[in-house]
Amino acid sequence: MADTQFRQHAATTGIMVVTRSLAPVVGWWTCVILILLSQINVACSSSHLTPSVIAATDRMFLESLALQGMQLSFDNTTAATKDWGKLRHLEPAAVVYPRGVEDIATIVQAVARSESDLTIAARGLGHSTNGQAQAHNGVVIQMTAMRGIRVMPLGDGASKGAPFVEAMGGDLWVDVLKASLEFGLAPKSWTDYLHLTIGGTLSNAGVSGQSFRHGPEISNVLQLEVVTGKGETVDCSPTQHPELFFATLGGLGQFGIITKARIALEKAPQRVRWVRALYTDFAAFRRDQEFLISAISPFDYVEGFVVANNANPINGWSSVPFEASDISEAMIPGHAGPILYCLEVTKAYSAADLHTIDEVVESMLAPLNFHRELLFKTDTSYFKFLDRLHETEVQLSSRGLWDQIPHPWLNLFVPASSIERFDMLVLKKIMTQDFSGPLLVYPLNKSKWDKRLSVAVPEGPDEIFYIVAFLRNKLPELDGGPTLSTMLEDNDNILRVCEPLRCKQYLPRHQDRIQWKRHFGSKWDLFVQNKQMFDPRAILSPGQNIFSRRRRLVQVDSV
């Protein structure tokens, strides 16, 4: 029986093999015992968890690494089976807590050179939604053990004095921000949520309201330190090993583990004027958004979201103003449809501009076509604005509605030429009472995404594409609402509508190689070539399901 088949069989029969007791046993007959055990259908203790069924030889191999001083846990694997999606729970054989880049290189090298078929996934705070940071029967490297931030306010000789920050793969963006602000500096491009690791976001893209101007986070990286799938530690940049640099950024963890990143900084503003404005007409909304992301854009941050045309405090128009009491039914135009569109922009400023900021923002809003009575403003510090989701996190967390519930999310990049159709076929249909969570819609400039980056963006002539993020929460049963499977079906239906529209998934999840080939499109051949170059045995990030682990030895396979 082929080993992979055996594993699948073991997984589906739900056995819990106590491999520890088999660890001292070496030889072909351990496999026989495992296969015999797999015939006994022992009920799995958790309906979601696919437990680890590790071969005794793999276990011994990992134990030998532990003996050499690697901090390796075979028991504390529960956290590594969980992620933000709460949709897949694959148990690794072991979790590693690296003390430095050397530990990561050691374990990747050892696995790459071994005869085992172990896989390795780097995991940060576990914000993947589909098991992308899980390694069934493999090794999860807990990257939050790798932290250390150094701000270089004057840059170095090579970067002509431009300031930058160096952070480790396991550092959080919020900590990078805090460290940079000590010098009056800050990174230029962000995600909406800052309690994410540097390595995790840079393996995807990192998109927020600054991306229209600065590109995603991956467009603002000057240099990386990467441990490749061969276990080599390589410094790379646009001029030094550029193939590895561009492959790794947006590379979904397929080519290497990001252990360090050098990120460009700018002078940090002190405060932001934060504005939301409602539209009833999608054409007017998108026209203004596209104007606001043009080269002459006066605002520093441009996003947008969809709300239902009702008083629901979670996803209706009541959620728009910064003070809920600032809006009422009477203010909503009678001709409004089932959904409303909310533009969200900010203007950053500093103390010296305090006396002009009102006037400046007013003149910036003057040419826009939102409903004049549906304009809401607030003012806050730059830090509080960037870390704005933290407050939501604290509130929802205390009610068990943050990382305790499933998040069947779908993120899409939709070409501008398809967006009106997308609005008609999807947005106006899906936003009902049942949609719990943010639905973000805002445009980005494709020219800010270097073609050499691994991340897939819509192909074709459009310079502008939209990010459309369906960020649904699966609320507990007692709160009513659709089932998880209904939500996943909704996502599939949206993807079906998208098929002729040249959309791409962001934070993508695909089932098989054919889908992945289609996803990467014209970038696929290079992606495969890079895999062959940097992780030829397909050890890294198996949870993405792009490549299958290549084995060196077939002997243990065939009992």
Q: Which residues are catalytic?
A: 127, 192, 303
Whichever of 464 and 471 has its CB closer to ligand ZME, that residue is 471
Q: Tell the smallest beta-carbon distance from residue 268 to ligand ZME (Å).
A: 21
Whichever of 61 and 190 has its CB closer to ligand ZME, that residue is 190
Q: Tell the smallest beta-carbon distance from residue 263 to ligand ZME (Å).
A: 19
Q: Tell the smallest beta-carbon distance from residue 317 to ligand ZME (Å).
A: 16
Which residues inside 438-457 make contact with ligand ZME, applying CB under 6 A?
Answer: 438, 440
Nearest to 53 by CA among 65, 40, 66: 40
Let me know: does 459 contact 446? Beta carbons within 8 Å.
no
Q: Tell the smallest beta-carbon distance from residue 215 to ligand ZME (Å).
A: 16
Q: What is the DSSP letter of 550?
A: P
Whichever of 391 and 459 has its CB closer to ligand ZME, that residue is 391
Please pick, from the candidates 56, 410, 471, 498, the single residue that binds ligand ZME as defined by CB under 6 A.
471
Count of beta carbons in the 10 Å neighbourhood of residue 333: 14
Please pick, from the candidates 63, 192, 266, 281, the single residue that binds ligand ZME as defined by CB under 6 A.
192
Whichever of 259 and 346 has its CB closer to ligand ZME, that residue is 346
Query: What's the chain's length in residues?
Result: 559
CA dist 224 → 105, 161, 237, 248 (Å):
15, 19, 6, 9
Whichever of 164 and 341 has its CB closer to ligand ZME, that residue is 341
Q: Tell the smallest beta-carbon distance from residue 469 to ligand ZME (Å).
A: 5
Please pick, from the candidates 389, 405, 484, 501, the single residue that binds ligand ZME as defined by CB under 6 A.
389
Q: CB within 8 A of 398, min separation 6: which ones?
A: none
CA distance 143 to 68: 20
Binding mask 396-435 for ligand ZME (x = CB under 6 A): ---------------x------------------------
Please pick, from the candidates 343, 469, 498, 540, the single residue that binds ligand ZME as defined by CB under 6 A.
469
Which sign does the torsion angle of CA 218, 221, 227, 229 carry? positive
β-pair type (439-445, 410-415) = unpaired
Phi and psi (nearest 5°) for 373? -80, -10
Q: 3-state class of 287 per DSSP?
A: helix
417: left (phi over 0), alpha (psi -120 to 50) or beta: alpha
Whichever of 19 and 411 has its CB closer to ligand ZME, that residue is 411
436 counts as binding ligand ZME under rule CB under 6 A: no
Residue with structure tokens 């007692």? Answer: 478
Let me know: does 83 contact 49? Beta carbons within 8 Å.
no
Please give the residue whose beta carbon sits closest to ligand ZME in the complex.
192
Q: CB within 8 A of 280, min separation 6: which ones?
A: 333, 335, 336, 337, 340, 341, 371
Binding mask 233-272 for ligand ZME (x = CB under 6 A): ----------------------------------------
CA distance 559 to 553: 13
Q: CB within 8 A of 343, min separation 6: which ones?
A: 275, 276, 277, 278, 279, 285, 288, 289, 292, 302, 304, 368, 370
Q: Which own/partner contact pairs does 445-452 have at CB distance under 8 Å and 24+ positions apart?
A: 445/212, 445/213, 445/215, 445/293, 448/211, 448/212, 448/213, 448/214, 448/215, 448/216, 448/219, 449/215, 449/216, 449/219, 450/215, 450/219, 450/246, 452/242, 452/246
Q: 3-state class of 17 per DSSP?
A: coil
CA dist 55 → 8, 102, 171, 214, 422 (Å):
13, 26, 33, 48, 48
Q: Tell the smallest beta-carbon distance from residue 490 to ligand ZME (Å).
A: 17
User: How big, in percent rounded to 5, are the helix, strand and coil portions of the chain?
Assistant: 35, 20, 45
Whichever of 201 and 248 has its CB closer to ligand ZME, that residue is 201
Q: Count of residues binding ligand ZME (CB under 6 A)?
A: 8
CA distance 209 to 343: 11
Count of beta carbons in the 10 Å neighbourhood of residue 68: 11
Whichever of 82 and 531 has its CB closer to ligand ZME, that residue is 82
Q: Tell the smallest beta-carbon distance from residue 386 to ligand ZME (Å).
A: 12
Whichever of 383 and 470 has its CB closer to ligand ZME, that residue is 470
Q: Tell the smallest beta-carbon distance from residue 407 to ligand ZME (Å).
A: 9
Q: Tell the smallest beta-carbon distance from residue 208 to ligand ZME (Å).
A: 7
Which residues inside 287-326 make contact with ligand ZME, applying CB under 6 A?
Answer: none
Tokens of 382: 């730059």
Q: Tell the smallest beta-carbon distance from residue 193 to ligand ZME (Å).
A: 6
- Sequence letter at residue 277: A
Whichever of 192 and 235 has its CB closer to ligand ZME, that residue is 192
| Residues near ligand ZME (CB under 6 A) | 192-193, 389, 411, 438, 440, 469, 471
